[in-house]
Amino acid sequence: MMPRDLDLIRELLLRFEHDDTSLPTGRTRQEVAYHVKQMKLSGLIDAKILEQPFQGKLAPFKFIIHDVTPAGHDFIAALKKDGIWSKVKAEAQKKLAPLTLELVIALAKKFGKDALGL
C-alpha cells in the first residue's frame, strides 16, 4: 500500500465516521470503491460493494456504507493524531515493498500504544 492509498483510506474513514460518503477531491468513484472494498475486507467498515465486469473480472464501482466497525473506530482513534499518522506514513515509505492494510492497522495501534506509554 502506497502513501497516497493510505491517505485516501484515512480520509474515507474520517468521513464515514460522520456519515459523509462523498468522493474526495481528485479521486474517482472506482478508485474509492476499490479502497472501500479493501476496508470492508479488512474489517474496518460494514458496507455493500456493487461490482461490474471490467477487463474480464468484477471490479467495484459503487458502495453503500452501513457503519464503521469497532475495529474501524479503533483505527480512526489511532490515526486522528497527526503525529501518529506521520509515523505510520514514514514507516510505510521506509519499506521497500508496499505495506498491507493489515500491517498499517498494526502500526497505527503500536504507535498509539507507544504514545500512551503502554
Q: Map out the domains of the chain as residue ranges.
A: 3-116
- What is the CATH T-level fold of the domain 3-116, as seen in this structure? Arc Repressor Mutant, subunit A (1.10.10)
Please tell me the distance from the alpha carbon of residue 103 to that of residue 40, in angstroms, as a whole number. 15
- pLDDT tens column, 4-57: 788 899 899 999 999 999 999 999 999 999 999 999 999 999 999 999 998 899
Question: Residue 68 to residues 7, 12, 50, 52: CA-CA distances in angstroms?
Answer: 17, 11, 18, 24
- Decide: pTM greater than 0.85: no
Scan for cell 484515512, then name that residue: 10
**Hey, which residues does 8 pair with through a beta bridge?**
none
| Residue 43, pLDDT score | 93
- Which three cell numbers, joined as nine digits, stand for 88? 505510520
| Residue 35, pLDDT score | 95
Please tell me the distance from the alpha carbon of residue 17 to that of residue 73, in angstroms, as a whole number. 8
